Amino acid sequence: MKPVAKISIHVRPSYFLRRLVWLAHVVAVCIVLSSNISSVLQGALLLLTGFSWMKQVGMAAAEKSTTTLTLHSDNRIEKFLNPLLVSGVGDTASIATNDMVLHPHTTVLPFLVILLYRQKNRLKSLVLLKDSLSAEDFRQLCLWLRWRIKKFPPKQ
């Protein structure tokens, strides 16, 4: 069997996912405010919702740059974060994460990919909506994942 070539995909932050998370926080605040619970509990829930929103805003600010995913034929995934400002130097650099292995329970839908991978013996996920990739990259990713998951599940 011929080895499958590796593919590189450029991922940018999803604006639709950001809006969806914002809407979920607004709905949570409306539900807490309209619920018939004590004001102490309401305040605590609103505070937790605010902390969650601040975490999402901080993560969105950190994801301003694009990320490159390189998918290899042996189910390895390389994630390149670029461009990052190297502290004190002023140059840009790429930082690669190499110890990622595709998990067989990755979900592939026509509008969404939930990329499950194992890194340092922990299962992690990456949510990729259709607007975070170019149309051709999304099509290639879906085809590559369907082929890899069905034919060659990784050895556990």
Reply yes or no on whether the pLDDT at 37 is more than 50: yes
Count CB atoms within 10 A of the CB of residue 136.
9
Q: Are 128 and 11 in contact (CB under 8 A)?
A: yes
Tens-digit pLDDT profile for residues 72-126? 888 888 887 755 543 444 444 556 666 788 888 888 999 999 989 898 889 988 8
Mean per-residue pLDDT for 13-34?
90
Task: Output the pTM of the full model.
Answer: 0.69
Mean per-residue pLDDT for 133-152?
82
Q: Are 100 and 80 in contact (CB under 8 A)?
A: no
- Show me where the domains of the chain are located: 7-13+67-151, 15-62
Tens-digit pLDDT profile for residues 44-75? 999 999 999 888 777 666 666 678 888 888 88
Q: Are 142 and 130 in contact (CB under 8 A)?
A: no
150 band by pLDDT with thresholds 50, 70 and 90: low
10 band by pLDDT with thresholds 50, 70 and 90: confident
C-alpha angle with apex 65: 127 to 85, nearest 5 degrees? 135
CA distance 36 to 107: 39
149 band by pLDDT with thresholds 50, 70 and 90: low
pLDDT at position 90, please? Answer: 46
pLDDT at position 75, please? Answer: 83
